[in-house]
Amino acid sequence: VNTKITGVKKMILKSKVELSKIDKEIFKNFDYSFNGESTFDVPVMPTIEKDFSIGVIFGSSGSGKSTLLKGFGQDKDLEWDNSKSVASHFKSVDDAIDRLSAVGLNTVPSWSKPRKVLSNGEGYRADLARKIDSNIVIDEFTSVVNRETAKSCSMALSKYIKRNKLKNIVIATCHHDILDWLEPDWVYCTDTQEMNRGYHRQPIHIQVYKGDKSMWEMFKKHHYLTDKIPNAIRCFYAIWDNYLIGFASSIALPSKIPPLYEGDKRKKFRECRTVILPDFQGMGIGVRFSNAVADLHIEDKYRYFSKTAHIRMGEYRQKSPLWRATSTNLKDR
């Protein structure tokens, strides 16, 4: 639904500088008449309903987004102690896990590092994880990360906000590609002075292919436990929009595992590696990719097992009707 705001009121803003010799020469060369004073206007937003989840101020650079955002609050400044890990900056273990996962920063080794050594994308997510709360504003949202990271971060953040019933979070951005992933309650465009609603994510379609372990080199540094991999494995790849984004493998299990019932002679396989590239984490792809690989084994008449120490994947499987707990489930071995 697009609602055109007619007769938009505008704020008139002014700035003034003291003219230097350089200024005078430059503006003279460009035949630009300038006395040191600049005037520009910013549209006044229409009245916003109370108790929304996510609102977005969207528009091109210089269109007044940051000025309008200040009407909702100030972006929070953070201080990081680079003698400590990223994870240690949160209130508790659960708080750290929830918030870091909420922004798609699921690479556990990155949690153990100081903020200063993280990549731009990881650092941005870590900053965002500490800011998340009701009644906050976020300026220049996803401007310093690549667009794949921007989408996954937007989706993970949106889920966290709505799951925890956070309210009145306002984001300013010049990037249109994240709006559907954020699923905001409203978007005000500073370029057109339109209030837009009705943003919804489209399904993510992943293609799964059988392959060999030649591509493990691309994924091994992103596995949070080990970069080693067995020799006798079956390998699978996840493709999204022609991007290779995921790797999974399985290995045959010894026959000593008891059958489910008398006469059950099926061979058994165990999942041994599943990795989604960091730019695509936080979108729920990993657990569903793992499900798809398990299905391929079931279709081939194998029994399929998996053991994970990753909290998010473990939580997902505890609730999933597709997985059945073994006798050693949730036991420290």
Query: pLDDT means per 10 residues in the chain (333 residues)?
Result: 46 83 90 84 80 94 87 89 96 92 85 93 91 94 87 92 95 95 95 91 94 92 83 94 94 79 81 91 92 96 90 89 91 77
Only one residue has tokens 């972006």, namely 75
Answering whether pTM is above 0.85, one says no
Only one residue has tokens 């929304």, namely 52
Q: What is each CA distance from 149 to 39, 181, 227, 244, in whole angstroms?
A: 37, 11, 23, 15
User: Do 190 and 57 form a contact (C-beta atoms < 8 A)?
Assistant: yes
Res 9: pLDDT: 63
Res 330: pLDDT: 87
Rounded-to-integer distance, Cα 155 and Cα 146, Å: 15
Q: Is 66 exposed, middle or buried (0-12, 13-18, 19+ CB in 10 A)?
A: middle
Is residue 114 classed as helix, strand or coil in its secondary structure? Answer: coil
Sheet with 207-211, side-by-side order of all strands: 207-211, 234-240, 243-252, 268-276, 303-305
For 277, the token pair is 């590239």
Is residue 303 classed as helix, strand or coil in its secondary structure? Answer: strand
Neighbouring CB atoms inside 10 A of 190's CB total 22
Q: What is each CA distance from 315 to 28, 320, 330, 333, in whole angstroms?
A: 67, 9, 11, 18
Give Cα 240 to chain centroid, integer Å: 16
